[in-house]
Chains A and B, each alone.
Chain A
């Protein structure tokens, strides 16, 4: 079974610097956490066939980030994917999600996948809209928030993790699936796998290569989150004294 995994080369928000402004340009990229689970599931599913990593570069500056994204994709390859596609195009930075989904769908068509896997949402923007958009673009069914997955004779049976219940659903392949962290434990690649990944192909594409038209940009401005905590840290004294101090503070706040 040919599998395409949507791997977001996301901003490493753990390293994001937030002071007076939000410095996205200086923030390194990494694989969006939940996409690792999608990669793991793809490696399990692919059997004799191939599994592809597909990403659209959304963060600039393009020249610097394209190289970084390529390195991030090497990690996905080291986890067991066979080939990577990186769509890097100036016009995609802050472009509409409509275009992002079109570009991803175009690569999926190009590799001829039977199933598309993705994380339920990405760690930077956390909108979780891309899997459904790509499905709509391809005209395939979408199964979101999957924590367990089985393929049987062209059918996909999945357990969807919803707010109050778990739903077992069935669709015909091809299909787009978004997974939760609970679906598996992503592997940590061995040194040998990391070396092997250096030789696997990373294909760079532009929107022109894919024949995708660009729609107007979405405007987004970022500012630091203003909820400031008091950050009073009690570290001196005996446990007894510390407990007393904490109780005092919480009383002053009127919360206990």
Chain B
């Protein structure tokens, strides 16, 4: 199936190559065109501001005519562009797909649904728009000859960007962390989070948090936030302390290898989603864990 990749990266280009047809990359500058040379059959250069979803969608609709599938990353702007393009093309839009294959001229994919309690197997006939869940398609796109062409455009954007504010960023890279100690509403005050930082230090991990800690109480910057609106993580150990386990939070930790949970409420949903659960007051057990682990590690 011939695929058009928008906001191309290696993973998307690889996913597109598995569909068995020509792969084109829609890029927004000559410099980006240079970056896809050798890994896409065509580089289509549209000189629009990639931050403006409607302008990008315009370029995609124009370029998409000879392609059966449009692939985008599962980012917020990727999904916005995808929705606009899909409606304009009269196409289905499959978001956050985990798998992707072509069978009998139809695109088949799987995605998590219902608060990640189920997997939906979906299929749609071309044209189809797809966003790919990050980290699911590991491989190298094959080496190919690339031609570079321009996409001619007139239409501008209806949206004006007035200003951009960078979010506060520290040294936290939860997506890459091997061990995450995550905190939730079970902590009674901000100062108590020090315990979690201490435990994370002893374990050589990072500190994450649930939505209320970052969004409502603002005890930690948003870069610590794990969940559907926050970061999706895949550590070897995710230790949830005082986190009840709302579906939105579980969605962010699904790919963790081992999930352990500490909560004083035995009916907390987190226990249904954990490998090891401890029913205990975190104020009692966390200091003990710090103590025991620092002894053996030290």
Contact = CB atoms under 8 A, between A and B. Distances in A.
B53 A242 contact: no
A169 B54 contact: no
A66 to B, nearest CB: 21
A59 to B, nearest CB: 11
A240 B76 CA distance: 45
Contacts of B229: 180-181
Interface string A174-210: 0000001110000000000000000000000000000
Contact of A141 (B54, B93, B96): B54
B236 interface: yes
A131 B93 CA distance: 13
Nearest to B236: A255
A145 B278 contact: no
A234 B122 contact: no
B82 A255 contact: no
Given A22-B118, A129-B95, A239-B285, A229 B259 contact: yes
Interface string A121-139: 0011111111111111100
B91 A240 contact: no
A180 B236 CA distance: 30
B79 A256 contact: no
Interface in A117-174: 123-137, 141-145, 157, 160-172
B76 A256 contact: no
Given A128-B79, A231-B272, A167 B115 contact: no
B80 interface: yes
B217 interface: no
B interface, how many residues as a size bin? 35 or more
A169 B53 contact: no
A244 B118 contact: no
Contacts of A240: 288
Contacts of A137: 87
28 contacts: A125-B120, A130-B83, A131-B83, A135-B83, A142-B53, A164-B166, A167-B161, A169-B162, A171-B159, A180-B229, A182-B215, A216-B125, A222-B114, A223-B119, A224-B118, A225-B117, A229-B274, A230-B276, A231-B274, A231-B275, A233-B277, A239-B284, A243-B278, A243-B285, A243-B289, A249-B260, A253-B258, A253-B275
Contact of B228 (A126, A131, A135, A231): A126
Candidate in B80, B112, B162, B163 with the most chain A CB atoms within 10 angstroms: B80
A157 B278 CA distance: 47
Contact of A97 (B57, B92, B125): B92
Candidate in A125, A168, A243 with the most chain B CB atoms within 10 angstroms: A243
B10 interface: no
A13 interface: yes
B237 interface: yes
Interface in B105-153: 112-125
A22 to B, nearest CB: 5
Contacts of A235: 266, 278-279
Candidate in A161, A239, A249 with the most chain B CB atoms within 10 angstroms: A239
B93 A157 contact: no
Candidate in A145, A224, A231 with the most chain B CB atoms within 10 angstroms: A231
B188 interface: no
A134 B247 CA distance: 27
A161 B229 CA distance: 10
A132 B95 contact: no
B164 A242 contact: no
A123 B115 contact: yes
A13 B159 contact: no
Interface in B60-80: 75-77, 79-80
A84 B143 CA distance: 55
A14 interface: yes
B280 interface: yes
Contacts of B271: 231, 233
B164 A165 contact: yes
A232 B276 contact: yes
A136 B84 contact: yes
Contact of A227 (B54, B113, B254): B254
Contacts of B274: 229-231
Contacts of B75: 162-163
B158 A171 contact: yes
B20 interface: no
Contacts of B118: 16, 18, 22, 222-225
Given A182-B215, A231-B272, A224 B117 contact: yes
